[in-house]
Structure 1
Amino acid sequence: MPNYFPPNSNSFVTWLAWGGGIFALLLIVGLPFYARMNNNRVGVPVEQPVDFQHNLHVTQVGLDCRYCHTTVETSNTASVPPTETCMTCHSQLRVDTPQLQAVVASWESGAPIAWNRVHDMPDYVFFNHSAHVNNGVGCSSCHGRVDQMAGMWKNEPMTMGWCLECHRAPEKFLRPASEVFNMAYSPLADPIAQETLGATLVEAYHIDTDKLIQCSTCHR
């Protein structure tokens, strides 16, 4: 029988099989990784029913985080402010502007504003805001410079690996209690000075560093 294939055909088929296998492996490994990165949506503004601008309210008006997020020091959640909080000022200010009509409609109907989540933690993760802010973790450590944001977006990936960076070495990130709500505060530039301060704060806050890396601390 005549040979219709050149002598190097077997090598070509072998290389094709290897190439296909490697491509399939890249898909299997790469697609979930891409999906996780895409789902993190770091830096992507989340569209909201009301164009609320944190930079205006924090920097220009001078509102403290706790004026709206009233339960952040006492509860697991930071709480989304009810419409009544908005209307404390806006019953008198800019009430007729287009930007405020959804707020006014909520006030008149009693139906809450349907805000879209920026940070949607998985059900298998337990996160307590009060445990963090009462132990020297600043708002901006996780949320970034909200005082400079017009819209709102996730500033950090909030992955387990990211959280563990702090849980394994809290002394690198902790700040004095007086600076927790200070958006402009940064860890000390000198790493040794920061770790010295941090070690003092770990002791002052009575933080059990062994418990920070136990699975049940966050997964209950």
Structure 2
Amino acid sequence: MSDVFPKWTNRLPIYALMSLLLFGGGAVAALWYYFTPKYTRVGYTPIQPVAFSHATHVGQLGMDCRYCHSGVEKSWYSNIPAAATCMNCHNQVLKDDPRLALVRESAQTGRPIPWVQVHKLPDYVYFNHAVHVNRGISCLSCHGNIHQMEEVRHAQPLSMAFCLDCHRQPEPNLRPLDKVTDLAWDPHQHLPKDWAQKAVRDWQVNPSQHCSACHR
């Protein structure tokens, strides 16, 4: 039998097992690293049925986020405005522009515009917009420089690690309540260095790091 099967073939099962562990472990590590929100969601920019520019409406015209997202201070979700809200301005501004045909149709028929959701957390994650907004967390912290975006894109990973970093150290994301939706306002230029620490004490900001805070 030794003439048919050389001695080195006895080590084949070991080589096979080592190869499986090496390549299998590498594949798992790659999936673990790259199939995270940082890589699968950040940069996601879907094509919307209507080309709405936050850069124009917020950055240039200075519209307050709450004009369109009117429920963000009192609700767990940030609502998308109905077409009637858009038509408050566009019944005069660009009222015959073909780019707004779907908005006009929606306002007339009541059929909602089929916007493509950009920011979406897993179903097992609970997030309350009102709690964060009313404690000085600006839209910028989670949505990035949305006032400069021609098209809304996924700017932050919104992963568990991303949320926990803020819960462990909320100070860098805090700003005065009247500046939460003033996206062009820079707290680093206007606030003293110890303002955030004082706000944490005065506002009793104590974000939970327990699992039940987000997984209910």
TM-score tier, shorter chain, comes to 0.7 to 0.9
Matched, 1:205 2:203: yes
The equivalent residue for 1:110 is: 110
Q: Which amino acid aligns with 1:49?
A: P
Q: Which amino acid aligns with 1:18?
A: M
Are the aligned partners of 1:47 and 1:116 in contact in 2 as well (CA < 8 Å)?
yes
Determine the C-alpha separation between the residues in 1 that align with 2:34 and 2:200.
37
Determine the C-alpha separation between the residues in 2 that align with 1:180 and 1:95.
31
The equivalent residue for 1:135 is: 135
The equivalent residue for 1:69 is: 69
Identify if the C-alpha distance between structure 1 residues 57 and 19 changes in structure 2 by more than 3 Å, giving closer, same or farther.
Answer: same
Determine the C-alpha separation between the residues in 1 that align with 2:10 and 2:42.
48
TM-score by length of 2: 0.87
Ranges in structure 2 where 5+ consecutive residues have no aligned partner: none
- The alignment yields a C-alpha RMSD, in angstroms, of 2.3
Identify if the C-alpha distance between structure 1 residues 37 and 22 changes in structure 2 by more than 3 Å, giving closer, same or farther.
Answer: farther
Matched, 1:215 2:204: no
Determine the C-alpha separation between the residues in 1 that align with 2:39 and 2:144.
19
Determine the C-alpha separation between the residues in 2 that align with 1:69 and 1:11.
66
Q: Which amino acid aligns with 1:149?
A: M
Determine the C-alpha separation between the residues in 2 that align with 1:113 and 1:203.
43
Q: Which amino acid aligns with 2:96?
A: D
Are the aligned partners of 2:137 and 2:180 in contact in 1 as well (CA < 8 Å)?
yes
Are the aligned partners of 2:59 and 2:184 in contact in 1 as well (CA < 8 Å)?
no
The equivalent residue for 2:155 is: 155
Q: Greater CA deviation, 37-46 or 121-130?
A: 37-46
Q: Secondary structure at the match of 2:75?
A: coil
Determine the C-alpha separation between the residues in 2 that align with 1:88 and 1:187.
32
Are the aligned partners of 1:95 and 1:101 in contact in 2 as well (CA < 8 Å)?
no
Identify if the C-alpha distance between structure 1 residues 77 and 36 changes in structure 2 by more than 3 Å, giving closer, same or farther.
Answer: same
User: Which 4+ runs in 1 deviate beyond 6 A?
Assistant: none
Matched, 1:182 2:179: no
Task: Give identity over the alignment, percent.
Answer: 40
Q: Greater CA deviation, 16-25 or 68-77?
A: 16-25
Q: Deviations over 1:110-157 (max 9, x none)?
A: 101111111112222111111111111111111111111000011111
Aligned residues: 214
Determine the C-alpha separation between the residues in 1 that align with 2:173 and 2:61.
29
Q: Secondary structure at the match of 1:212?
A: coil
TM-score by length of 1: 0.86
The equivalent residue for 2:167 is: 167
Identify if the C-alpha distance between structure 1 residues 17 and 200 changes in structure 2 by more than 3 Å, giving closer, same or farther.
Answer: same
Determine the C-alpha separation between the residues in 1 that align with 2:107 and 2:140.
31
Q: Secondary structure at the match of 2:117?
A: coil
